[in-house]
Amino acid sequence: MDSAGQDINLNSPNKGLLSDSMTDVPVDTAVAAQTPAVEGLTEAEEEELRAELAKVEEEIVTLRQVLAAKERHCGELKRKLGLSALEGLKQNLSRSWRDVQVSTAYKKTQETFSQAGQKTSAALSTVGSAISRKLGDMRNSATFKSFEDRVGTIKSKVVGGRENGSDHLPSPTGSDDKPLPDHTPF
């Protein structure tokens, strides 16, 4: 049996078999023989390097087979345990988030944002106090008092007429002889 189809014994028959998409493309020794040798290498050194290359490529194929077998076995175990791909994704994201939170960069960034938030809060509090103080000063000014008195007078005239049981508003000209029309919708 050749190395691409060999069974890697992992306590299960045929665990080492790979699909065609997982196999490596072998190096064509005829093409390799046609390429000129690197200057400074003897034929013996070149042959030794080619043998080592072939050995490494064979090890790569074997390792891929072992990895594929382990991944299949892992998938079987997850399926038997009822773990889905979504569950695995959740666990990976959760683990990654914990890793991020314990990182130095995250801690420094969190500390910086915390300080910035405190400074922003203090600044907004100061601005709010200043606005409140200015509005209080404005409310106590003579101009605002005059305006407030006029609005109060108009309001008392409008509301005062209705509070007395009258269906009409006082006329601005003083002639209170015309009642307001009834505006009932129905």
pLDDT in tens, 72-100: 999 888 888 887 778 778 888 999 999 98
The per-residue pLDDT for 143 is 85
DSSP 172: T
Whether pLDDT at 69 is above 80: yes
Tens of pLDDT along 120-167?
999 999 998 999 888 888 888 888 888 888 888 888 888 875 655 555
Domain ranges of the chain: 44-102, 108-153
Q: Check if the beta carbon of residue 159 is closer than 8 Å to that of residue 169.
A: no
Q: What is the reported pLDDT for 13?
A: 47
| Spatial distance between the Cα atoms of 8 and 67, rounded to a whole number of angstroms | 10
Contact by Cβ (8 Å): 69, 16: yes
Look up the pTM and report it: 0.31
Instruction: Give the span between the Cα atoms of 112 and 100, in whole angstroms.
Output: 16
**Cα–Cα dist 185/87, whole Å:** 63
Q: Is the pLDDT of residue 16 over 70?
A: no
How far apart (Å, rounded) are the C-alpha atoms in residues 109 and 86? 30
Q: Which residue has the tokens 């106590």?
A: 140
Q: What is the pLDDT of residue 4?
A: 46
| 14 close to 7: Cβ distance less than 8 angstroms | yes
Q: For residue 34, what pLDDT is reported?
A: 53
Which residues contact residue 72 at a Cβ distance below 8 angstroms, ignoring those fewer than 6 apart? 15
Q: Residues 29-47: pLDDT tens digits? A: 555 555 555 678 899 999 9
pLDDT reported for residue 26? 55
Distance of alpha carbon 106 from alpha carbon 32, whole angstroms: 51
Q: State the virtual CA torsion across 143, 149, 155, 161 in degrees, nearest 10.
A: -150
* pLDDT of 176 over the 60 cut: no
Q: What is the pLDDT of residue 43?
A: 92
